[in-house]
Amino acid sequence: MPSLKLSNLFRRNADRRSLKERASDLRASIGALNRPATPQFAPGSAEAKAAWRDACHQHSIRALPLHDCPELDHPTGGAWTTRELMRAMETGEITVTEFARLQPIASLRELRFAEIAHELRIGELFALAHADEYPAKAEADPVLAAIAASENAEAAMTAFAASTEGRRLTDAERSQEDVIERDQRATRAAAWATVPTTAEGRAALARYVASQAELTFGPDWQAKVRQEFCGDPFLALLAAVEAATRDGA
């Protein structure tokens, strides 16, 4: 097979387009990336796997000429890459002159490989074909939303109490207070009933337990909890959960 004459690709064309024209083309091509003309297959589907196999076959055919590049023959076999050339120049294996001659050829060769892979959607199709080999994105722990709802209800009650402090409530305000109290009870019950599914959720629940105990017993809640039945086991369990979540268990 005839060798690839990459040096011919560096010749300037007499009617080469201006920088402004090429910049305009680049903007248009980038904009086109947001409007894919090719179908996207379902992750892990038979269609995605077939498309991946076909892309690999086409890549082998189109990239074959790039492997025959005597200008870049490496002393130990294979072809020089831009990274290997840089390392060789730094260690004195090749001279600066040799690097300056070979680097543009190696860079263009790698660019052609990248263009072929881009045109054939190699990266995209690989991910879609092998989707089953990667973990799915973890959904948010449901306890986080439950705790947030409860904390919002607590904040609403705190704000209401501050706005009515030192005076008698009107009938409308008493009705409003009843609504807020019902919301407090309901959201607390929902938080207690929700089982964490992640370390983040367990850590949040441990903090929520401590905050609820402080709301009930005050700043010295730990001392008061110890006076209650099962107080010490409760504190021991809470400490264990906090330690485990710190360790990422």
pLDDT in tens, 198-207: 888 888 888 8
Domain assignment present for residue 31? The answer is no
- The pLDDT score that the predictor gives to residue 9 is 42
Domain assignment present for residue 20? The answer is no
- The pLDDT score that the predictor gives to residue 227 is 75
d(CA 21, CA 135): 44
Residues 6 or more apart from 167 whose CB is under 8 A from it? none
Is the per-residue pLDDT at 235 higher than 80? no
Q: Which whole number is the average pLDDT over 172-195?
A: 90
- The pLDDT score that the predictor gives to residue 200 is 86
Q: Which of 117, 133, 149 is the last residue of a domain?
A: 133
pLDDT > 90 fraction of the chain, expressed in percent and rounded? 29
Is residue 97 located within the same domain as residue 147? no
Asked whether 93 and 74 are in contact (CB, 8 A), the reply is: no
- The pLDDT score that the predictor gives to residue 20 is 65
pLDDT in tens, 122-138: 999 999 998 888 776 68
- Alpha helices by DSSP H, 12-121: 19-32, 46-63, 82-91, 96-119
Domain assignment present for residue 55? The answer is yes
Is residue 158 located within the same domain as residue 77? no
d(CA 227, CA 236): 14
Is residue 183 located within the same domain as residue 222? no
Q: Which of 150, 167, 195 is the last residue of a domain?
A: 195
Q: What is the pTM of this model?
A: 0.45
Q: What angle do CA 182, 188, 190 make, to 5 degrees?
A: 105
Average pLDDT, the chain: 80
Is residue 128 located within the same domain as residue 67? yes
Q: Which of 1-5, 158-162, 233-237 is the least confident region?
A: 1-5
Is residue 70 located within the same domain as residue 97? yes
Is residue 231 located within the same domain as residue 178? no
Is residue 90 located within the same domain as residue 113? yes
Domain assignment present for residue 227? The answer is yes
Domain assignment present for residue 23? The answer is no
Is residue 183 located within the same domain as residue 143? yes
Cβ of 125: how many Cβ atoms within 10 Å? 22
Provide the domain count of the chain.
Answer: 3
Domain assignment present for residue 21? The answer is no
pLDDT in tens, 108-123: 999 999 999 999 999 9
Domain assignment present for residue 25? The answer is no
Q: How sure is the predictor about 210, in pLDDT bands with cuts at 50, 70 and 90?
A: confident
Is residue 79 located within the same domain as residue 157? no
pLDDT > 70 fraction of the chain, expressed in percent and rounded? 75
Task: Please name which of 231, 134, 245 lies closest in space to residue 199, comparing C-alpha atoms.
Answer: 245
- The pLDDT score that the predictor gives to residue 1 is 41
Domain assignment present for residue 16? The answer is no
**What is the span of the domain harbouring residue 97?**
6-10+38-133
Is residue 123 located within the same domain as residue 47? yes
Asked whether 245 and 202 are in contact (CB, 8 A), the reply is: yes
Asked whether 176 and 203 are in contact (CB, 8 A), the reply is: no
Asked whether 112 and 66 are in contact (CB, 8 A), the reply is: yes
Task: Please name which of 200, 188, 197, 191 lies closest in space to residue 145, comparing C-alpha atoms.
Answer: 191
pLDDT in tens, 1-58: 444 454 444 444 445 566 666 656 655 554 544 445 566 888 889 999 999 999 999 9
Is residue 190 located within the same domain as residue 114? no
Q: Which of 195, 213, 228 is the last residue of a domain?
A: 195
Is residue 101 located within the same domain as residue 76? yes
